[in-house]
Amino acid sequence: MRIVWLFLSPLIALVAGVLLLGLSRKIMARIHWRYGPPLLQPVIDIIRLFSQRSASHGILFDLGIVVSLAGSLIITLFLPFGNIAPLSGSGGMLVILYMMLIGPLGIALSGGESGNPNASIGISRNLMLAIGYEVPLLMVLLAVMTRYGTISIVEIVRVQQASTWSIASWPLVVSGLAYLLVMPAMLGFRPFEVVQAPQEISSGPMVEYGGSYLALVSIQHALSLYITISLFVNLMLGGSGNIVIFLFKMLVVFVLFLFVNAVFPRFRIEQAVRYLWRWPTLIGLIGLVLVALVGR
Amino acid sequence: MMVELLLIVAFGGSLLTYVLGKLSSRLRNGFALLNALALVIMIGMLYGQEFERSLPFGFLGIQFSIRMNMLSWFFAATILGIGLLAVLYSFRYMKGKERLDYYYFTLLFINASMLGTVVAGDLLSFFIFWEMMSWSTYLLISLRGGGKAIFAGIKYIIMSLVGSLAMLVAIVSLYTAFGTVDIGELAVHMQSASLGLALLVVILFSITFVIINALWPFHTWLPDAHAEAVSPFSAILSAVLVRKGLYGLFLLMYVILGFSFLDRLAVGAISFSNVLAWIGAITIVFAAFRALLQNDSKRILAWSTVGQGGYMVLGVSVATSMGMAGGTFHILNHCIYIALLFFVAGAIEHRTGGIRDLDSLGGLIKKMPVAFVGGLVGIFGLIGLPLTNGFVSKWLIYKSLILEGRPFLAFAAFLGTWGTILYGYKFIHNIFLGQLPDELRDVKRVPFTMAVPIMVLVVLVFLFGVLPGIPLSVVNQVGTYMGFEPLDLNVWGIPSESGTLNVVNLLAAIAVAGFLVWLLFKTLGRSTRVDQSDNYAAGAAIPRGRYGFTREFYAPLYRIVSPYVKDFPDALFLWIADRTKALGGMTRKIYSGYVGSYVMYIVLFLAALVFVQLTWSPW
């Protein structure tokens, strides 16, 4: 059974991620008073892209994408998904944190080799934005791990199942608030959509990708949406013992941030980092201090 | 006899290398390599032995002694291993440069004296070896000559001397108190020592070791020294010499003082371990952000050495088996990947005609693939991505900090890692990725003798990352020697209660997923290779040669961060140096050179004496 889930859970994550992507276009269109593309548009796009020819800039240009997508697929094995977590025994949160780096780093290396300045600018912005939101995020994660006295994400979910959701419990509610504030930046949603910024730097790291490259990057993007939201649901909303409820929670969180995305303009990268290092960091720090004072 | 022989071969070999160099440079190179190789084999044969022996001679009535145990062995093995690779690397790197006999002599001599410090069985010979190490390091830092190199050397030697003096005072006070400087005997005597003496000794020794370990606020010598030293020596400096400070701390904290005594050295929440841990945390964060601001390939690496020292101290000061294993393992891991990175930076420097400025490089992945692989793997190890060695040691350190309920220290450690990603990527991007400038079109590959050390270290980074059980079993023995419970281990990782680390799962998952995606990519994707100038410019034509984006890679972040991460300790020390110089200048004015002035001084002094006697009549 475990072997089946090893292959099934990345697939479910993939499908869920791609559907979220399709849904986001539909919802965004409706908020903008447009009709919008069909729900399965991303799938159609990916199939079409695979049939097209494309240009390659070198070995790392190819390998970076492959590694990035592979890394993202693997994290889904470490994140509890409903009551299933095929590999979550191997190192817990710390491994997840590090594995989450592989996706962006793969794209960064691949985009870097393209030699396009727009790609380099996009990557530099991506890394700056990452250190911007990682500061509050790490405080939140440490607060959660310290509060429950474990680095195992399965354990964290189990404790929440037995009592209440982290975000509804004192003192983790403060950390939860900080987490909510950094989520748009983690998802790459407006007002933090500085990395791709199509009007400024022609989609940043993605500028040189076409054909199968773009298809793989789109899949990776869909997976990274899934991973980010799934981590939030597991840590803050108590995960779930049931796959359907888990996916429902993810959907609610996603739609919530989509509304934020729909109505905001874009920050400049400096404004984004300054904001992230001001309010979410302050709240995250208060949350961490409270956890350290209250103890387990 | 083995350890004595080891020292004799090490010191004798360095002298003989110098003599042979006068005859033939080939002979010298061959002998230097053989000597380094012989030392590695000998230390391999000493594995697992534990003894302490007095030497037949001494100094000032103090008997010298040597000791060998897992702690000494661990450090000696890193010193000799990196030493061997550095010698091999030097052949091509130093080719055609001046004073090569002197260079090889000093390089081997430093290795020998470092070896001496770790096998010294008493504090006096420890001090003597330590001084030999300091002075020869000074000579090698200034090897290139010129204002900057001399300045870096002077900066190093002054800070090192302050440390040495502190250590000398500590040793003398231990000797006057107990009448012995033997490490084994001191460990027994210290248990009955007064708290005041212990505190004095701990503070004095800590100054020495914090300076050489380049922890904040005494890190200031290191970036200059690394940037000015030749690359093979930078590797030694960064990988092993700096870590003599940690060897000293181990010796002080866990061999001489021991746990129970360390616990007594506390006033409320302020204990020795806590102070040390916070110094480590500040070092990590400060160094990460300083490294971000650097634009010189070797200076970035130098700051990363400063920062990684903080991780080791964090692990060590937690003082649980896991933290200790993490800290000790990190010494080994850091030594591997930082030597690798310095070798890579040196190879770039060698082939591009001495370019270290990250704004003028780019696109070298196509010209120097071996250097690229080395650089990438080194940076991955530095960040600590899974399947590299850095991951396992950092995992141990993080986990011990979180489980011990020290979230703020863990936060500093995490933040440092995320800073590492930024400057690590910049290092890779600005050297190897992006556009290849026209000036670098004819750059050649890394020469063979330089590629060998790079590839050896690349393999080690992965080997220790995938099979962490092998090095960790040695680390475990080091921990056991210092009185820690051994960690539960298997070859693939660390099975324990909840958060188990199992690298083989990770490896299998990454291999399978990577293969599947690659298969998908290969079967469905059709692509043609294009030139680097064949790029989509979004309608805005940019002239050739202006297409690279490397200058001020993180400009917006620099603007936010730079006002806050000024190097205040460096400015303070330079100010003190400047004031001291001014004071010296004023003192010199007294010696005017005229006999008349001197007569006047004497008369004035006598007059003052007479005045004092007449007024208060003290005599």
| Residue B441: exposure state from Cβ atoms within 10 A (0-12, 13-18, ≥19) | exposed
Summarize the confidence of residues A238-250 as an average pLDDT.
Answer: 83
Decide: B434 and A120 in contact? Cβ < 8 Å.
yes
pLDDT, one tens digit per residue, over B291-343 is: 888 888 888 899 999 889 899 988 888 878 888 888 889 999 999 999 999 99
Q: Does A149 lie at the interface with B, CB-CB under 8 angstroms?
A: yes
pLDDT value at position A211?
A: 81
Contacts of A12 (CB under 8 A, 6+ apart): A81, A243
Decide: B43 and B80 in contact? Cβ < 8 Å.
yes
Least confident span in A85-94, B248-257, B375-384: A85-94
Q: Is the pLDDT of residue B379 over 80?
A: yes
Rounded to whole angstroms, the Cα distance separating B300 from B302 reads 5
Least confident span in B283-287, B311-315, B555-559: B555-559
Summarize the confidence of residues B497-501 as an average pLDDT.
Answer: 54
Which one of B477-481, B497-501, B589-593 scores highest in mean pLDDT? Answer: B477-481
CB contact under 8 A, A99 and B398: no
Sign of CA dihedral A176, A180, A181, A186: positive
Burial B375-399 (b: 16+ CB within 10 A, else e): bbbbbbbbbbbbbbbbbbbbbbbbb
Q: Which residues of B touch A77 (CB under 8 A)?
A: 509
Summarize the confidence of residues B568-588 as an average pLDDT.
Answer: 85
* Angle, CA of B308, B311 and B312, to the nearest 5°: 95
CA atoms within 13 A on the CB side of A294: 18
Summarize the confidence of residues A32-36 as an average pLDDT.
Answer: 87
CB contact under 8 A, A50 and B414: no
Maximum C-alpha span of chain A? 59
What average pLDDT does the structure give for chain B? Answer: 84
Give the whole-number percent of chain B exceeding pLDDT 90.
8
Q: Which residues of B touch A114 (CB under 8 A)?
A: 535
Angle between helices B369-383 and B448-466 (to 10 degrees): 30
Which one of A25-29, B401-405, B479-483 scores highest in mean pLDDT? Answer: A25-29
Neighbours of B1 (CB within 10 A): 7
Rounded to whole angstroms, the Cα distance separating A65 from A55 reads 14
Q: Which of A68, A75, A127 to mutate to test the interface with B (most CBs of B within 10 A)?
A: A127
Q: Is the pLDDT of residue A40 over 50?
A: yes
pLDDT, one tens digit per residue, over B219-272 is: 888 888 888 888 888 888 888 888 888 898 888 888 888 777 777 777 777 788
| Residue B69: exposure state from Cβ atoms within 10 A (0-12, 13-18, ≥19) | buried
Q: Which of residues 258-287 of A touch B (CB under 8 A)?
A: 268-270, 273-274, 277
ipTM, two decimals, is 0.90
Q: Which of B395, B396, B535 to mutate to test the interface with A (most CBs of A within 10 A)?
A: B535
Q: How far is CA B230 from CA A135, B246, B295, B442, in A?
A: 36, 24, 18, 24
- Give the closest residue to A131 by CA, choosing from A177, A185, A69: A185
Summarize the confidence of residues A258-287 as an average pLDDT.
Answer: 89
Rounded to whole angstroms, the Cα distance separating B202 from B566 reads 30
Report, in angstroms and rounded to the nearest whole number, the Rg of chain B calculated over CA atoms.
27
Neighbours of B53 (CB within 10 A): 13
pLDDT band at A52 (very low <50, low <70, confident <90, very high): confident
Contacts of B571 (CB under 8 A, 6+ apart): none
- Give the closest residue to B123 by CA, choosing from B77, B78, B189: B189
Give the residue with greater pLDDT, B145 vs B79.
B79
β-pair type (A53-56, B51-59) = unpaired
pLDDT band at B491 (very low <50, low <70, confident <90, very high): low
pLDDT value at position B109?
A: 92
Residues, chain B? 619
Secondary structure (DSSP) of B387-424: TSHHHHHHHHHHHHHHHTT-HHHHHHHHHHHHHHHHHH
pLDDT, one tens digit per residue, over B439-488 is: 878 888 888 888 889 999 999 998 888 888 888 888 888 888 887 887 77
- Closest partner residue to A146 (CB to CB) among B366, B407, B537 is B407
Rounded to whole angstroms, the Cα distance separating B206 from B188 reads 20
